[in-house]
Structure 1
């Protein structure tokens, strides 16, 4: 009841104020003797009155629109904070920091998404990018994230998780209807699985590969060609995940959306993501929050604070204990292999 009564005065004020001003002008024209005269003085007074009323109406309309825009942004920001909730600071021995930045100035809503979930199958990570940005992308973000949060626990294989995401997106777009142009949306998505011993497998659907920071160097996690984005094309029958090596203690994974690499400065130069990460790799082991803050600061300096696309970053640092000794290490050495918790020698 309180909400209903609180809205009535505001709506009445929004309608009643312009009506009162219009009635004032009409009453002046009909009843004031000065308005009936043909002299210059009468015309100046009438014109000044009309100008004042017109300016008042414009200011009133502007305030009303700004108030509604602020309310819409507040509601959209609250909705996204529920959908794109911050990941836990530490999951299964892996420290995490993540954030997104919308391309809409003054808005907190974007089309990028991410999630990190600890499951019995390992640590599973999703990062994706919905076509478009702003409030219109929230529905697709909700459909994909909701499906992933369930499938990550239910599906023993990473391919099963991806198929669940594909079905959820198809249902969501089908419900929006073919008459809606945004029903042709698609999502680029990267699924990672990190096992307790650090083995990384991935399924990549049109998304940029993450970068691995280790031993002072920076390398793409993989170089294989990705699958098509989720949505416009059927998934292939074989969804064997790509083996991407080992995530060792002290290593850092930086996942990003294409808004990072595609960001340009006023001269049209792309953001040097790999060079920026190489500079940050010399500072390891830095906290993921520090790495995230430095990356966003460098990106905003490059774009003069005006990125053209939504941006999302997820930083993972392996804080698990390193295992380098004991019977397993000796056995691996005798067999010419690498001990658990150590990186296999190159070549």
Structure 2
């Protein structure tokens, strides 16, 4: 996996490094094509493509230079073949001049659009970080890492959430995904995070934490009106890693099953019984079931949102973390998450269409040594 990743990264970097040369290649190629073909076969397509390519890839100055270069090349070749003063030549030249001028306009429009988008993304990221503070990098022998990648398609604030904190009962974690985007999603994230942070310290069981978050989300949803009243539920996984022992406990509320990585093997911690997302328990009388799974020293727990497993490539194939991670060992949670993000980006060609939250916990040796 790492060899493929390195190879793709090298190819991509080479392409990005040489991409600014494309307008020059188009101009030179157009001039050579124009010079070596029949006088009535024109290289106009090359001359118009060069400034438009520069408009999309390069600065305003480079776009202007590409446009001037296209006009100069066209004038030189038209003069060489004696077509400069004729109607066909003038028509061709006017097309090149017009497209070159439009390229400058397109470049400016793209620049200001990008400025606005980057500003919106910075605001969204600031809000996201305020709502989702970074958990500690380590708690006793547990090393913790998180990553959040917003969808590349827009600058909307997403509804993915994560938390990890030390409690009297062990280290408790939460990863979830709120239905919807924007400020309504952020409200639900804020409610879930606030209640979880308090309940994790007070409730003796994961089921008790889930019940408190459930009630808070239902109250929040009932305050809304219109179509958004039906949103605000959260798919989530709650985790408890006791201070002693080599196991962990899980409550899964309609969320993608966590993965356990150990000695090159990957195990999917599927829930023993399906459950509805948080905020929808009123539709089902079933109580939460807590599953216990082994978590020995050297193992890593990976929690993620569906942005990971629903990431598609151009052929429509979903990214499969189990297949990609099997047979590989990682020094720690940071290396695992960095590799995952790189792999998903390459798998999708950079077209991330859903927010992606990742939380990984690696157990070292010894006891957690938490509060008593």
The yes-or-no answer on 1:131 pairing with 2:179 is yes
Q: Residue deviations 1:14-50, cap 9 Å, x none? A: xxxxxxxxxxxxxxxxxxxxxxxxxxxxxxxxxxxxx
Structure with the bigger percentage of helix: 2
Q: CA deviation at 1:170?
A: 1.3
Q: Please tell me the root mean square deviation across aligned C-alpha atoms, in Å.
A: 2.8
The yes-or-no answer on 1:92 pairing with 2:140 is yes
**Contact 2:195–2:213 (CA under 8 A) maintained in structure 1:** yes
Q: 1:223 to 1:240 in 2, by over 3 A?
A: closer
Partner residue, 1:186: 233
Which residue, 352, 356, 362 being the options, matches 1:311? 356
Q: 1:84 to 1:261 in 2, by over 3 A?
A: same
What residue ranges of structure 2 are gaps of 5+ in the alignment?
A: 1-105, 368-372
Return the TM-score normalized by structure 1. 0.68
Q: Which secondary structure state, in structure 2, belongs to the residue aligned with residue 212 of structure 1?
A: strand
Q: How does 1:305-344 map to 2 (within 5 A)?
A: 305-321=350-366
**Contact 1:76–1:135 (CA under 8 A) maintained in structure 2:** no
Q: 1:308 to 1:279 in 2, by over 3 A?
A: farther
Equivalent-residue separation in structure 2 for 1:132 and 1:236 (angstroms): 22
Partner residue, 2:305: 257
Which residue, 274, 278, 286 being the options, matches 2:322? 274
Equivalent-residue separation in structure 2 for 1:238 and 1:194 (angstroms): 24
Equivalent-residue separation in structure 2 for 1:158 and 1:117 (angstroms): 14
The yes-or-no answer on 1:213 pairing with 2:258 is no
Q: CA deviation at 1:294?
A: 0.4
Q: How does 1:37-116 map to 2 (within 5 A)?
A: 71-105=119-153, 107=155, 109-116=157-164
**Contact 1:103–1:133 (CA under 8 A) maintained in structure 2:** no
Equivalent-residue separation in structure 1 for 2:155 and 2:166 (angstroms): 31
Which residue, 341, 348, 356 being the options, matches 1:296? 341
**Contact 2:333–2:360 (CA under 8 A) maintained in structure 1:** yes
Number of matched pairs: 262
What residue ranges of structure 1 are gaps of 5+ in the alignment?
A: 1-57, 323-347
Equivalent-residue separation in structure 1 for 2:351 and 2:116 (angstroms): 24
Q: 1:231 to 1:67 in 2, by over 3 A?
A: same
